[in-house]
Amino acid sequence: MVSIMFYVMAAIALGSALYVAASGNLVRSIFMFFITLFALAGLYVLSLADFVGVTQVVVYVGGILVLIMFAFMLSGRENLEGLKQQKNRLLSVSKLPALLLAAAFFVVLANIFLKAGADNSNWIKQAIAEQDVMTPQNTSINSLGVNLMTNYLLPFEAISILLLMALVGAAHLSRKEESAT
Amino acid sequence: MITLTHYLLVSAGLFSIGIYVVLSKQNAIQVLIGIEMMLNAAILNLVAFGKFDKINNAGQTFALFAIVLAAASTAVALAIVLNVYRRHQTIDPGKINQLKD
């Protein structure tokens, strides 16, 4: 049952990602990217990281995609005209280098992953021996919160400073330019 | 039984599609979508390995951090895209060829 769901989610994620890559219509590709993100959230839940899955839905689907839609609508009309001109789809000469590079990357990555044998590595075996593996019975969110405030407090604070910097930077970039320097 | 290698292969496919989108699209917003895809592939790896770390939760914690970083970088990137559109009236990365007008 779980493996069937995994394969369905993976097929949806990869298929909609391929559609994003192949489609010439910007609006359609944005909405298919929604579906990719939802399927990825499902994959996170299947990997017993339910809180990360929920965060994915809230932050990505609720935040980032709305931002992308805003940027798309504000940067407007001639986008669509420009997109109508480029009729060429996935296979064309101008996109051949990108296709070659992506395929080469995939071959290399898949080779490495198949040869690395991550399931037989030492620390995975050690984790299984020490009962350090998550099971569907226990909830991880308790220890996640405790760890976030104890073990990982320094990266947490560093990220809060970075968020503040991003906020100031975005506000600075998007203000009206009267006293341009 | 779903093993780690399955997750790794899915994320490899997603990463490659992201690279293709980044390299082939003539629209800054679509390039941004490709970058998000590659980030998501990395987060999928973090989460898949985080399953074997029940006590410390390192994988899930850093997946959360990566999601937050992606959100921040997207906000800044979209502000830059809008500024570029206001100056050049286009967001094709191939046509923007000057730093200062």
> What's the angle, vertex CA B10, arms to CA B7 and CA B15, rounded to 5?
120
Position B99 in a domain? no
Size of interface A-B (CB pairs under 8 A): 232
Q: Is residue B10 part of a domain?
A: yes
| B68 in a structural domain | yes
Report pLDDT digits (tens) over A39-81: 999 999 988 888 999 999 998 888 888 888 888 888 766 655 5
Classified as helix, coil or strand, A83 is helix
pLDDT in tens, A98-155: 889 999 999 999 999 888 877 778 888 888 888 878 887 877 888 888 988 998 999 9
Per-residue pLDDT of chain B (101 residues), as tens digits, is: 778 888 999 999 999 999 999 998 888 888 999 999 999 999 999 999 888 888 888 889 999 999 999 988 888 888 888 888 888 777 777 777 777 65
- How far off is chain A from B5, nearest CA to CA, in Å? 6
Q: Closest chain A residue to B44 measured between Cα atoms?
A: A44
A1, A6, A30, A64: best to mutate for the B interface, most B CBs within 10 A: A64
Concatenated DSSP letters of A10-31: HHHHHHHHHHHHH---HHHHHH
pLDDT at A91 over 60: no
Q: What is the pLDDT of residue A82?
A: 54
Q: What CA–CA distances, in Å, run from A157 to A51, A160, A161, B63, B77? A: 20, 5, 6, 16, 23
Whether residue B13 lies inside any domain: the answer is yes
**B93 located within any domain:** no
Domain that holds residue B84: 4-88
Residue A23: what pLDDT?
Answer: 80
Spatial contact of B44 and B14, defined as CB atoms under 8 Å apart: yes
CA A134 to chain centre: 23
Query: What's the CATH number where B76 sits?
Result: 1.10.287.3510
Task: Give one DSSP letter per residue of B34-98, joined into a string.
Answer: HHHHHHHHHHHHHHHHHTT-TTT-HHHHHHHHHHHHHHHHHHHHHHHHHHHHHHHS---TTT---
Q: What confidence score (pLDDT) does residue B38 get?
A: 93
Cα–Cα dist A89/B34, whole Å: 17
Residue B42 lies in a domain: yes
Query: pLDDT by residue (tens digit) across A81-90?
Result: 555 555 555 5
Any domain includes B96: no
- Cβ contacts of A119 on chain B, cutoff 8 Å: 3-5
Answer whether residue B15 is part of any domain: yes
Q: Which whole-number Å values give the CA distances from A159 to A14, A54, A162, B35, B73, in the listed order?
A: 30, 20, 5, 20, 12
Q: Would you put residue A135 in left (φ > 0), alpha (ψ -120 to 50) or beta? A: beta
Cα separation, B24 vs A95, in Å, equals 6
Q: Which residues of B touch A142 (CB under 8 A)?
A: none
Number of domains in chain B: 1
What tokens does B81 get? 């895209």
Which residue in the set A60, A118, A128 is minimally distant from B5, CB to CB? A118
